[in-house]
């Protein structure tokens, strides 16, 4: 048989197969052949793409500037001055609530002075860090707009099947909204160092292509539900990637959105979520205020809630003027909880009592916002009149970086040194004011 005859036969076979498919499909005419291009993956991407975001974080890094340029000979001697320079890191994230709460990895925004979130429609919005958990490698950001944001649906990672299809969407190597597909290769994987120390545990392994920049993006199932947060790859392998199970995020919501940490408000109540799964991917979620047989929470301050994120998003709107949080229950009853300002950390209380200053720990984002030269230390917010700090010339806006002989970068450092201050005597204080570093002494 000639090659042309074989090709003709193959084309006829394909044509007959498609015609037969249309003929054998109930209710589908030959002219209405189902599109083989419009796959499950296409449907999932259409559904979630607007809720997947790209994240850029500006950080300050120490870098040695060689007077000999890029000459490889001199670079081996580490010659040159170490200077701090801005550097950008890229990552991904996804919106979990219409009010603009965005999930990403902690390592994407760690030590960032400024974070921007780019939406699928091209808008770039500044993001506020709500909270983060370094151990879980999860962070929660907040963006704002005059319109609600599209949000993804959180799935459940407790019943993942080895081999089930998954889809990764993210900012791979800076290529925004890149899509890759694969399967769940394994569950309960641990990432270990060369010394066999576990860095992260109980991860989902996938062969969907994950590259630098995918960190923080969603790993989705065939129903478009988030079942993991992409976090790491094996650099010495092909298509071995890892994702944090979504249930770890769901369980951490009460901490990541804790009003005490985020808004410095004390509400004597903690909500939790119950989830009931039914095939193929249905999740019945209920919110409760007690671990007992308490009725389901259906509203918070009169606004309906579907899940835990809804409930805590409402509670985070509370301010110091809010008197109480009212939970509406499924049986028609209510539970009321008073709202009050959280107690200051003991270190802050001691600083005000002993030194006469109100201090706040400096973070990279606070440094960017307040135009501070240092990314750590204690920012002086207030100096009491006639206090020992005022007599030493310390002013509001100064950053304390040394107390006595010790460098202080955090509230914990400051509190530890404060415990060992003498009852009387002079104590040296290192201060950054503007771009200048100076020293003074307080007389106790």
pLDDT per residue as tens digits for the range 325-349: 999 999 999 999 999 999 899 999 9
Catalytic annotation on 107?
Answer: yes
Q: Which fold has domain 37-256?
A: Thrombin, subunit H (2.40.10)
In this model, does residue 12 exceed pLDDT 90? Answer: no
pLDDT score of 25 more than 50:
no
199, pLDDT greater than 50: yes
Using the predicted structure, report yes or no on whether residue 68 has a pLDDT greater than 60.
no
pLDDT of residue 294: 81
Say what the pLDDT of residue 359 is: 97
Decide if 180 is catalytic: no
Strand, helix or coil at 307?
coil
CA distances from 53 to 58, 71, 169, 213, 313 (A): 16, 39, 9, 11, 20
Q: Comparing C-alpha atoms, which of 238, 234, 204 is closest to residue 219?
A: 204
The predicted pLDDT at position 72 comes to: 55
- Judge whether 135 counts as a catalytic residue: no
Look at residues 292, 294, 284 and name the one whose alpha carbon lies nearest to residue 327: 294
SS3 198: strand
Give the pLDDT score at 83. 53
Distance CA 253, CA 307 (A): 11
Please identify which of the residues 89, 185, 215, 387 carries the catalytic annotation.
Answer: 215
pLDDT of residue 262: 94
Query: What average pLDDT is seen over the chain?
Result: 88
With a cut of 90, say whether residue 91 has pLDDT above it: yes
Quick one: tokens of 99?
Answer: 């009010």
Active-site pick, 132, 137, 156, 288: 137
Look at residue 20 and tell me whether its pLDDT is greater than 50: no
CATH 2.30.42 is held by the domain 259-341 = yes
pLDDT at 226 over 80: yes
- What is the per-residue pLDDT across 385-405, written as a single tens digit (0 to 9) for each? 999 999 999 999 999 999 999
**Which of 97, 107, 177, 288 is labelled catalytic?**
107
Backbone phi, then psi, for 140, in 5-degree steps? -120, 125
Give the separation between CA 44 and CA 40, rounded to whole angstroms. 6
Assigned CATH class of 346-443: mainly beta
pTM: 0.84
Mean pLDDT of 206-234: 94
CA 105 to each of CA 44, 65, 109, 156: distance values in angstroms, whole numbers, following the listed order: 22, 30, 7, 19
Query: With 90 as the cut, is the pLDDT of residue 82 above it?
Result: no
pLDDT band at 13 (very low <50, low <70, confident <90, very high): very low
Q: What residue segments make up the domains of the chain, in order of their start?
A: 3-34, 37-256, 259-341, 346-443
State what percent of residues in the chain have pLDDT above 90: 76
Gap between the Cα atoms of 52 and 45, Å rounded = 10
Token pair of 173, please? 């190597």
> What pLDDT does residue 30 have?
52
Rounded CA Rg of the chain? 28
The domains spanning 37-256 and 259-341 adopt the same CATH topology: no
């Amino acid at each position: 048989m000639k090659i042309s005859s074989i090709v003709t036969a193959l084309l006829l076979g394909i044509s007959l197969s498609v015609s037969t498919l249309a003929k054998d499909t109930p209710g589908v005419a030959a002219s209405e052949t189902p599109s083989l291009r419009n796959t499950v993956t296409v449907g999932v991407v259409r559904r979630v793409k607007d809720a997947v975001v790209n994240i850029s974080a500006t950080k300050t890094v120490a870098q040695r500037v060689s007077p000999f340029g890029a000459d490889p000979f001199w670079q081996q001697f580490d010659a040159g001055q170490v200077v701090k320079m801005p550097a950008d890191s890229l990552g991904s994230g996804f919106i979990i609530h219409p009010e603009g709460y965005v999930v990403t990895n902690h390592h994407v925004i760690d030590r960032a002075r400024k974070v921007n979130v780019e939406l699928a429609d091209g808008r770039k919005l500044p993001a506020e860090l709500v909270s983060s958990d370094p151990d879980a490698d999860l962070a929660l950001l907040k963006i704002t707009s005059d319109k609600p944001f599209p949000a993804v649906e959180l799935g459940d990672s407790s019943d993942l099947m080895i081999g089930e299809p998954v889809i990764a969407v993210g900012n791979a190597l800076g290529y925004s909204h890149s899509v890759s597909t694969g399967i769940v290769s394994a569950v309960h994987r641990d990432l270990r160092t060369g010394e066999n120390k576990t860095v992260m545990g109980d991860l989902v392994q996938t062969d969907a292509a994950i590259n630098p920049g995918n960190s923080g993006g969603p790993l989705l199932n065939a129903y478009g539900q988030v079942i993991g947060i992409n976090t790491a790859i094996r650099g010495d392998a092909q298509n071995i990637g890892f994702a944090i199970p979504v249930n770890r995020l769901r369980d951490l919501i009460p901490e990541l959105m804790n009003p005490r940490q985020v808004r410095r408000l004390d509400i004597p109540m903690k909500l939790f979520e119950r989830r009931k799964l039914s095939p193929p991917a249905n999740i019945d979620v209920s919110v409760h205020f007690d671990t007992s047989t308490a009725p389901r929470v259906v509203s918070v301050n009169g606004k309906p809630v579907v899940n835990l994120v809804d409930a805590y998003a409402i509670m985070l709107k509370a301010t110091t003027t809010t008197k109480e949080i009212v939970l509406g229950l499924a049986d028609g009853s209510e539970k009321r909880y008073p709202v009050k300002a959280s107690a200051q950390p003991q270190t802050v209380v001691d600083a005000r009592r002993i030194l006469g200053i109100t201090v706040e720990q400096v973070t990279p984002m606070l440094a960017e916002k307040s135009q501070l030269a240092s990314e750590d230390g204690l920012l002086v917010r207030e100096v009491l009149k006639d206090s020992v700090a005022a007599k030493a010339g310390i002013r509001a806006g100064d950053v304390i970086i040394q107390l006595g002989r010790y460098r202080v970068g955090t509230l914990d450092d400051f509190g530890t040194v404060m415990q060992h201050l003498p009852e009387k005597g002079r104590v040296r204080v290192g201060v950054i004011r503007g771009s200048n570093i100076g020293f003074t002494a307080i007389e106790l």
